[in-house]
């Protein structure tokens, strides 16, 4: 099947975080030196959006820590790409930053919440202050409610033994109080570093039976929900990777401008994408990626 656009650009405007969630996908023990994306690099990323289906405009680290994060997101153009970012909403945000976000062209903002019980929330999302989170959430929802065409608010809850009984309440609170368009409940990724060693995370994941029972209960509720189960699903059911003979055209765009094509079988890629490269070494990124797309189509034909 001919690909019309690159499937996903997974961009991160920072490479660090202000909290240390116990289930985090990142191995903070090996954290890199802090990097904030510079303005030109962000503009280069934005120039690629017309070639992309879905722009994850931050999903691995904490974008609100970037000193210009709200201003950056105001620059996102409408191009037909679905755009969003994911945040823990923990740094105390200014009202003008929230207004900027409400005026942006983003399609949605994902907000992570494990619990509305302060002690459970602060235990699972170590380093986050529940009061700061709620203060931000109240401000965001007040401002977004009064703004036509503000980005949709979606919520992500990582499901563990500590919060599994609270999931119906989380869905209810998010939908009835905090403008949720969708609550996604998910198990942890099987490749989470802390899951590879015996310890807290291994003891805190639920069984598959508990997960299925919780989903069954959630499905009886009158809310819009999504279920993402990478832990118990087979790898090819949750990754966006296609068969080994089909290119997935999914690439990572790091805060320092490094581009990494997520293709298991690099033979499916044109030469220009076989090795990682930095966008700042490319004189016209849009043309470079457009040509790459044409080359992928030719190889597929
Ligand atoms: C890696 S975080 C980065 C964005 C931001 N710092 C946050 O937590 O919202 C992106 C999303 O993945 C979720 N997440 C974190 N660790 C995970 C894991 N091990 N498995 C699955 N999802 C995870 C978070 O709850 C969050 O909703
Ligand atoms: S807020 Fe996000 S990036 Fe930070 S520790 Fe938690 S899950 Fe990881």
CA–centroid distance, residue 284 to ligand 1 (Å): 33
CA–centroid distance, residue 141 to ligand 1 (Å): 21
CATH code of the domain containing 253: 3.20.20.70
Q: Which residues pair with 185 in a beta bridge?
A: 157, 227
Write the residue with the smallest CA distance to atom 8 of ligand 2.
Answer: 24
CA–centroid distance, residue 19 to ligand 2 (Å): 6
**What is the position in ligand 1's atom list of the atom closest to the CA of 156?**
27
Q: Determine, yes or no, domain membership for 284.
A: yes
Pocket residues: Cβ below 6 A from ligand 2: 17, 19-21, 24, 26, 61-62, 88, 125
Q: Give the residues of the chain that fall short of pLDDT 50.
A: 236, 240-242
- Residue 131 dihedral angles phi and psi, to the nearest 5°: -65, -40
Q: Determine, yes or no, domain membership for 1.
A: no
Number of domains in the chain: 1
Ligand nearest to the CA of 25: 1
Query: Distance between CA 78 and CA 56 in Å, rounded?
Result: 14
Residue to mutate, 21, 69, 159, ligand 1, most ligand atoms under 8 Å from C-beta: 21
Q: What domain range is 295 assigned to?
A: 6-300
Write the residue with the smallest CA distance to atom 3 of ligand 2.
Answer: 61
CA–centroid distance, residue 24 to ligand 1 (Å): 6
Name the pairing type of β-strands 258-261 and 277-278.
antiparallel
Closest by CA to 63, choosing from 91, 27, 32, 43, is: 91
* CA atoms within 13 A of residue 294's CA, in its CB half-sphere: 6
Residue to mutate, 16, 24, 60, 90, ligand 2, most ligand atoms under 8 Å from C-beta: 24
Query: Distance between CA 159 and CA 156 in Å, rounded?
Result: 9
Note the pLDDT of residue 54. 96
Q: Determine, yes or no, domain membership for 221.
A: yes
Q: Determine, yes or no, domain membership for 115.
A: yes
pLDDT 10s digits, 81-133: 999 999 999 999 999 999 999 999 999 999 999 999 999 999 999 999 999 99
Write the residue with the smallest CA distance to atom 7 of ligand 2.
Answer: 24
Note the pLDDT of residue 241. 47
**CB-count exposure of residue 277 (10 Å: 0-12, 13-18, 19+):** middle
- Residue 37 dihedral angles phi and psi, to the nearest 5°: -60, 140
Query: Distance between CA 21 and CA 126 in Å, rounded?
Result: 5
CA–centroid distance, residue 22 to ligand 1 (Å): 11
Note the pLDDT of residue 1. 58
Pocket residues: Cβ below 6 A from ligand 1: 17, 23-25, 59-62, 86-88, 112, 156, 158, 186, 188-189, 192
Q: Determine, yes or no, domain membership for 232.
A: yes
Q: Determine, yes or no, domain membership for 160.
A: yes
Ligand nearest to the CA of 28: 2
């Amino acid at each position: 099947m001919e690909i019309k656009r690159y499937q996903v650009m997974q961009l991160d405007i920072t490479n660090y975080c202000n909290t240390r969630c116990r289930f985090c996908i990142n191995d903070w023990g090996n954290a890199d030196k802090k990097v904030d994306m510079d303005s030109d690099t962000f503009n280069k990323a934005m120039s690629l959006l017309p070639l992309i289906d879905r722009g994850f405009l931050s999903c691995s680290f904490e974008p609100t820590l970037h000193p210009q994060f709200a201003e950056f997101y105001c620059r996102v153009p409408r191009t037909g790409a679905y755009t969003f970012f994911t945040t823990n909403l923990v740094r105390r945000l200014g009202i003008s930053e929230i207004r900027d976000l409400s005026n942006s062209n983003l399609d949605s903002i994902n907000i992570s919440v494990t619990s509305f019980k302060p002690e459970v929330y602060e235990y699972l999302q170590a380093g986050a202050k529940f009061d700061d989170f709620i203060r931000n959430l109240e401000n965001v929802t007040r401002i977004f409610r009064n703004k036509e065409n503000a980005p949709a608010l979606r919520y992500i809850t990582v499901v563990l033994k500590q919060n599994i009984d609270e999931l119906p309440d989380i869905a209810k609170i998010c939908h009835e109080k905090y403008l949720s368009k969708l609550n996604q409940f998910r198990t942890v990724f099987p490749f989470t570093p802390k899951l590879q060693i015996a310890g807290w995370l291994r003891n805190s994941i639920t069984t598959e039976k508990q997960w299925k029972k919780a989903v069954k209960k959630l499905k009886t509720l009158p809310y819009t929900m999504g279920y993402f189960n990478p832990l118990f699903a087979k790898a090819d059911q949750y990754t966006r990777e296609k068969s080994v003979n089909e290119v997935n055209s999914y690439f990572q765009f790091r805060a320092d401008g490094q581009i990494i094509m997520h293709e298991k079988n690099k033979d499916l890629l044109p030469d220009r994408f076989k090795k990682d490269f930095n966008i700042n070494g490319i004189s016209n990124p849009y043309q470079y990626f457009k040509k790459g797309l044409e080359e992928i189509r030719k190889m597929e034909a």
